[in-house]
Structure 1
Amino acid sequence: MKKIIFKFLTRLPSKYSINGLILIVGLFIYGIVGSYFIMGLNLIDSIYYSVITMATVGYGDYIPTTGIQKIFATTLALAGVALLAYVFNIILTNFQEKMRLYSKGAKKMKSIKDMDDYYILCGYGRVGKVVLEELTQRNQNVVVIEKDKERYDGIEEKKNVVSIHKDATEDELISHLAGDKCNSIIVSTGDDVSNLFIVMAIREASPNAWIVSRASKTENISRLKKAGADKVVSPEIIGGKDLYFESTRPHLLKITVRHTSDELLDEFEIISKHGCTLENIEYHLPGIETPLTREIKAIEFSDGKEYHNYLKTHPDAKQALDNLYKTVNNIHSHLISGPDRATFKKLTKDLEKIDEIIGINLTNKEIAKITKKEI
């Protein structure tokens, strides 16, 4: 308790502390000079008289007699009283503010303690804001740590969101929060150097924590992994891919089909024949909106032929693929990029000869309604 009170009384706002110190020094000089020239005292007595008058003690050993002396003593005493009140008010206000913050911090720590589990989000910038929205939409408990005051003030606290205005590199804070109830720690500041230090601090304090970090530059991905991050995500790289896909949107075709794994090579041949690229394959579980997605990026027919030969020589892999097809009732979608829409029309006609086409450019929600009937 003594330690807390000491911090409260010593950590005064610098602006007001400096102002108070300047006023005290100024008034003290005024008292010494006035006592020396107006009261006619020597230097030692001038210091003594200034102190007792400013402190309103007034022992009466030096009594002003002339008008100018009385005016001087009055102004010195009144200024001393006002200054004492000012300084006391600073101390009291600062003490009350510290007590308020301490009480608020204690309530927040209790709220975190009462959570069954939670995510820790370090950094509430542009990316951190999106991450928080994603987590809260899924009713997850989140502890947000942000050292920037302006960003911290912009965090909307809810029942399942607790914000802490501190530096995430403080080992004591992270080690206290990154316990068994912490699902994951997400480091999302916009500065890779800060992310690196935060990851190192977290890993040192919590060896078993699951850490996901943001990386703004690709060359820092390996550094963050070496520092202890389990996963490193680059929003810039992801954003670049999204920009590419959006720019090619008029030349993207999502075609939902039904066939077994034995028709894979024939599909590859048709797609490559039309100069198109198989970007990915989505496997639609019956009645579930979010599909299982495999990134392919196959352009040449030789890619498909190589995979076909692999399945022929690896029966376990072929059996696993067949089981996947059975799970989704052979319904899946191909995301295909191509030169133009005319090419897509020709490609679709050729695919109709070997596949059962369920739909073109269907949404996942529409596909889920169709596959729900397969249950």
Structure 2
Amino acid sequence: MLIEDYHFSEAFYMTIITVSTVGFGEVQALSTAGQWFTSFLIIASFGTFAYGLTLLTQVLISGELAEDIKRRNLNRSISTIKGHVILCGFGRNGRRALRKLVAYGQEVLVIENDPQIIEQYLKSANVLYLEADATDDDVLRQAGVDRANALVTTLSKDADNLFVVISARTLSPSIRLISRASSESTERKLRAVGVDSVVMPEGVGGGHMASLVMNPNIVEFLEHLSVEGSSDSNLEEIELSDLLGEKRSCNLNELHIRQRTGCTIIGIKDPEGNYMINPSSEIILRPKSRLFVLGNARQIKALNDLLAEIHTQNSNT
């Protein structure tokens, strides 16, 4: 049969199944309506496929898929983290606190609800974070407040800091709480609800400037000391129970810290909270006391190795 004899609908129909590479054989001859319907179905299917392919391409190009995978991995890490520090707020004080904690090798989880701060600082940093409101109890639970060692809140509003520490203390009675405050009245309220330490940045800054006027050389000397673990002169705090092992008490000389690590003990905090500066080697040490030692990076590492060795020995006995 010549092409001129084809009905228009048949020609159009054959063109569609050929161009679309469907190319199926007919089980039975189709009517004109069937041919038009099949042609429309093929065209619509290709349109749907093309639209889906376009969306997939946009997702891949824009990085949404990669971001979603990263977010899932982040949530998985957050769900298993423990012994960490929760840092609420990532403003100037929060960023400074993070640098100090990371320098000490402490694992940190940041809670911040400002998308601009997250985009500018947190997404490119190697740190766990939640884009959420720290005053929400569910967010604190998601952050593992019951598994954390400490919570630091540096939010700009005192009321928010107060709310966070009250929630954290309720959810985890033993967690250590450190909060920022901008007034003495807020400091009193924070301590009343069980905050362990309160920092007033303005007061600290003013006191530091006064010290620079009266004792500039002392301040300069103290600035050479570091608690970050990366300076030539570092301060380290030790829980005495880690060193005593099964002993209930001993004198300072029995620990041989100076001989074994090179670190110098410059202070002690007894279980009652009293501080002793430059303690005598004959002083009796009790469990739950804390030692403050001074040393360089190599000596501090030797001290940490000693603590790890004692901890292993106690675990095996």
TM-score (norm 1): 0.42
TM-score (norm 2): 0.49
Return the structure number with greater helix share. 1
Question: Over alpha carbons, which structure has the higher Rg?
Answer: 1
